[in-house]
Amino acid sequence: MALRQLLAFGGSTWLGGVRHARRHANSIFATAGPGRTTDPSIGRVQTARAVVGALTTFGLVSVYGVDGGWSAVFEDGLTKLFAAPLVLLLVGPLVIAGFIWYVPPQHRPVLRSRLRYPLKAIGWYLGVPLGTIAGYTIVTLLLKATQGIFAAQAVISLFVLIVALPFTIWAAAFLFFSSGAAARYAFNTADVHAALPAVLTAVLVWVLNIVQLGDGLPNGPLAVQIAAFLGGPLSVTAVSVWELHVLRTRHNVRVRG
């Protein structure tokens, strides 16, 4: 009975940690800052495009198949979930620098001052996994240094069980939820300028598509392969262009305005 209660307590504690990680990721990546302009229609169109893209992928795989089966499709989706923020971290600074250079000189100091919002998001996104790795590295070194000292190793092992392991689960959940939010909100670059995420998204989808080209084109006739390869980035780019139009016409948000 006691063991069952202990397992139930541990499960509820870990589940609570996962929920806390999700709330914390949303508080960092999904909280609007001073430069963000929201429009419900933009979110609805982005969601609709994502649903159509997923259904199209499902249809192509169902008709023409895929190397590795559905597990390969799942792995590819999971890879993209974590690859998108990493690619964004690589190409994002170049796009942001070009964006700030493109706006009128009198607006540049304001945009530069707002860079603290994406920098905070990047700090959390990189700091949590790097801090976890550093912590386990220190624990490993301490275990080696105290080899043969039973009391010290017992304390370290107890620390790992009570503190390090729950934190690792929290960190893994935070990284999972943050990856989707970081890609969706482009590391809070909307707080720098409302039009910046649309520009970043258009660039990001083409870079990811070129990277994915290394895995080869999907199965099917040549026309289907080309349509599948270009359909995703072209549709995302079209939505981004429409988003810029909506921001300009409905909210008077202009890149050079």
Q: Where are the domains of the chain?
A: 10-251
Per-residue confidence band for 74, with pLDDT thresholds at 50, 70 and 90:
low
Which of 225, 35, 7 has the alpha carbon at shortest distance from 117? 35
User: What is the pLDDT at residue 3?
Assistant: 36
Is the predicted pLDDT of residue 125 greater than 50, yes or no? yes
Which one is predicted more confidently, 205 or 4? 205
Q: How far apart are CA 15 and CA 198, in angstroms?
A: 35
pLDDT tens readout for residues 176-217: 898 878 877 888 888 899 899 899 989 988 988 888 776 666
Indicate the average pLDDT of the chain: 83
Which of 123, 100, 81 has the alpha carbon at shortest distance from 35? 100
Q: What is the DSSP letter of 217?
A: P
Residue 32 sits at the vertex; the CA angle it makes with 244 and 249, to the nearest 5 degrees, is 25
User: What is the pLDDT at residue 72?
Assistant: 62
Query: Which residues, including other chains, have CB under 8 Å from residue 79's CB and lie 6 or more apart?
Result: none
Section 74-93 average pLDDT: 79
Q: What is the pTM of this model?
A: 0.77
Q: How far apart are CA 250 and CA 248, in angstroms?
A: 6
Tokens standing for 126? 């990189």
User: What is the pLDDT at residue 129?
Assistant: 92
